[in-house]
């Protein structure tokens, strides 16, 4: 319940989808809202709570008004294994369907909290279409966040509306994305999520349809983007697709000091100081950072291919590899890379001083913003793209699934700050296999030569614009203000 001082303060509930990317974005958003005088409450489940509270420690220490409330996740009732409360524990599409179904059971406990706390607004992840009804029951606006940008939102909407994939004969035939402003964008059926191209009413397809429907009835959308990055698509989304939306990003820029930057989402598997020290020893723009987000988990065969590609390209690099099985990790920690399935024999010895492998979780923003980092190999998750843009680094795009293939087009063709590694197929978690040669070629293209320099200059210019956008008077700063003013008007 609100105390006297809090009564006049706008109070916003954040309810993110249970995946690291969404939760990291939420923590950043909550910090942004709180730093501008709004009271923020984040709702999550018990197992995810410590991840968020740890990330928040820095900001609450600064006196920001951010609360954290847990609601029980019904994994047992839904038939999920114990502790399966985060999308990163999902190992198959079937399990994902059950997980999504379990999230619908969160409606009742969420509504109890709305009743108890009476916030002024509910900002909820797009995979909770029912949250629009929940907010309506309490007479407050529901705002959606997708965790993605305007370009992918416009592409997704165009594909769903016009179904251009039905006009081609084979999965590999290219088709043009209809009614999109700017340059012509082509895709194939192979890179589209199967639930989008199927006429069957699978439970996943139903959730996605319900989410699209709740889009139309909700109050608006907050987007982690800035106008200078993808303005024509922001205008298209608002004026042609008639959606209300506010650009408030890049939200990761609210993490100002190295402590905030080094703990985002999970505890980093490397000491931030050691990591910075390693980077300090390298020349500017000489290190490639390779990371595939929180939900990609490559096969050992692919990891070996990456290792060989990186060795062959001759650059310094930091490579983040998701935690492997414990016994394997222990061998790695003792430096015995011989026989480690995913590393070529003697790899770490040969690459000593040139390569830093982080097994687990990296302090990504801290690394990307270091002046030694000159390139980023990314799976094209939206947070990573914006973090790469904010750091001004050219990218090798390696989309795996979700909307990552759309994001790749923005980076390589619209913004021209990256090159594609060449994945051609949407394959959840493990991705389409990429050969060593393709990796080596793509990395060289963003690190060496005139074209790399041009990409770097464009990326640096965007990074400057990103910072200006969130400063007082900038485009995101002003958009945020108009959102707050509107919410205040509604709450009076």
The full DSSP string for 65-111 is -EEEEE----HHHHTPPTT--SGGG--SHHHHHHHHHHHHTTHHHHH
Residue 224 in contact with ligand UDP, rule: CB under 6 A: no
Rg (CA), the chain: 22
Structure tokens at 439: 């990796």
Q: How far is the CB of 105 from ligand UDP (least distance, A)?
A: 23
Stretch touching ligand UDP by CB under 6 A, among 19-27, 183-191, 327-335, 478-486: 19-27
Residue 381 in contact with ligand UDP, rule: CB under 6 A: yes
Residue 20 in contact with ligand UDP, rule: CB under 6 A: yes
Give the contacts of 123 (CB within 8 A, at least 6 positions apart). Answer: 12, 13, 14, 15, 29, 142, 143, 144, 145, 222
Sign for the CA dihedral angle at 266, 272, 278, 283 comes to positive
Stretch touching ligand UDP by CB under 6 A, among 163-171, 293-301, 459-467, 475-483: 293-301
Residue 291 in contact with ligand UDP, rule: CB under 6 A: yes
Q: How far apart are CA 451 and CA 456, in angstroms?
A: 8
Residue 249 in contact with ligand UDP, rule: CB under 6 A: no
Q: Could you tell me which of 288, 252, 259, 479 has the C-alpha nearest to residue 384?
A: 252
Size of the site for ligand UDP (CB under 6 A): 20
Residue 293 in contact with ligand UDP, rule: CB under 6 A: yes
Which single residue is written with the structure tokens 């989008």?
Answer: 196
Residue 407 in contact with ligand UDP, rule: CB under 6 A: no
Q: How far apart are CA 247 and CA 31, in angstroms?
A: 16
Residue 17 in contact with ligand UDP, rule: CB under 6 A: no
Residue 24 in contact with ligand UDP, rule: CB under 6 A: yes
| Cβ count within 10 A of residue 244 | 13
Q: How far is the CB of 320 from ligand UDP (least distance, A)?
A: 5
Instruction: Return the bridge partners of 186, or none.
Output: 176
Among 260, 387, 403, 432, binds ligand UDP (CB under 6 A): 387
Residue 364 in contact with ligand UDP, rule: CB under 6 A: yes
Among 31, 44, 384, 397, binds ligand UDP (CB under 6 A): 384
Residue 361 in contact with ligand UDP, rule: CB under 6 A: yes
Residue 474 in contact with ligand UDP, rule: CB under 6 A: no
Q: Measured from the CB atom, is 128 or 219 closer to ligand UDP? A: 128
Among 21, 305, 388, 428, binds ligand UDP (CB under 6 A): 21
Binding site for ligand UDP (CB under 6 A): 19-21, 24, 264-265, 291, 293-295, 320, 361-362, 364-365, 381-384, 387
């Amino acid at each position: 319940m609100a105390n006297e001082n809090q009564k006049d303060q706008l109070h916003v509930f954040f309810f993110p989808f249970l995946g690291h990317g969404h939760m990291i974005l939420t923590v950043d958003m909550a910090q942004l809202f709180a730093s501008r005088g709004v009271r923020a409450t984040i709702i999550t489940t018990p197992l995810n709570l410590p991840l968020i509270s740890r990330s928040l420690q820095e900001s609450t220490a600064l006196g920001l008004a951010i609360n954290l409330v847990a609601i029980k996740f019904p994994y047992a009732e839904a038939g999920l294994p114990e502790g399966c409360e985060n999308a990163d524990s999902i190992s198959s599409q079937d399990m994902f369907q059950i997980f999504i179904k379990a999230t619908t059971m969160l409606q009742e406990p969420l509504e109890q909290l709305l009743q108890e706390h009476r916030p002024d607004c509910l900002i909820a992840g797009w995979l909770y279409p029912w949250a629009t009804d929940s907010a309506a029951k309490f007479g407050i606006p529901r705002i959606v966040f997708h965790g993605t940008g305007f370009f992918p939102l416009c592409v997704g909407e165009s594909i769903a509306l016009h179904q251009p994939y039905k006009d081609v004969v084979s999965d590999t035939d290219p088709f043009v994305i209809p009614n999109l402003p700017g340059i012509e964008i082509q895709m194939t059926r192979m890179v589209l999520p199967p639930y989008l191209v199927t006429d069957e009413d699978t439970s996943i397809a139903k959730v996605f349809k319900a989410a699209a429907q709740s889009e139309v009835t909700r109050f608006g959308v907050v987007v982690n983007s800035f106008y200078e990055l993808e303005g024509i698509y922001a205008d298209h989304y608002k004026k042609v697709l008639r959606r209300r939306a506010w650009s408030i990003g890049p939200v990761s820029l609210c993490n100002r000091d190295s402590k905030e930057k080094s703990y985002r989402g999970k505890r980093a598997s490397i000491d931030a100081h050691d990591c910075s020290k390693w980077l300090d020893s390298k020349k500017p723009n000489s290190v490639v950072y390779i990371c595939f987000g929180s939900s990609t988990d490559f096969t050992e065969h692919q990891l070996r291919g990456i290792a060989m590609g990186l060795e062959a390209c001759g650059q310094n690099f930091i490579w983040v590899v998701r935690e492997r099985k414990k016994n394997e990790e222990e061998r790695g920690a003792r430096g015995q890379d011989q026989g480690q399935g995913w590393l070529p024999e003697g790899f770490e010895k040969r690459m000593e001083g040139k390569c830093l492998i982080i097994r687990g979780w990296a302090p990504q923003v801290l690394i990307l913003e270091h002046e030694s980092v000159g390139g980023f190999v990314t799976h094209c998750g939206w947070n990573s793209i914006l973090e790469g843009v904010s750091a001004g680094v050219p990218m090798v795009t390696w989309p795996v699934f979700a909307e990552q293939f759309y994001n790749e087009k923005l980076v390589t063709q619209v913004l021209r700050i990256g090159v594609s590694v060449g994945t051609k197929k949407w394959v959840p978690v493990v991705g389409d296999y990429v050969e060593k040669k393709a990796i080596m070629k793509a990395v060289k293209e963003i690190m060496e030569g005139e074209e790399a320099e041009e990409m770097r200059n464009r990326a640096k210019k965007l990074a400057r614009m990103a910072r200006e956008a969130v400063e007082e008077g900038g485009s995101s700063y002003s958009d945020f203000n108009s959102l707050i003013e509107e919410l205040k008007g509604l709450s009076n």
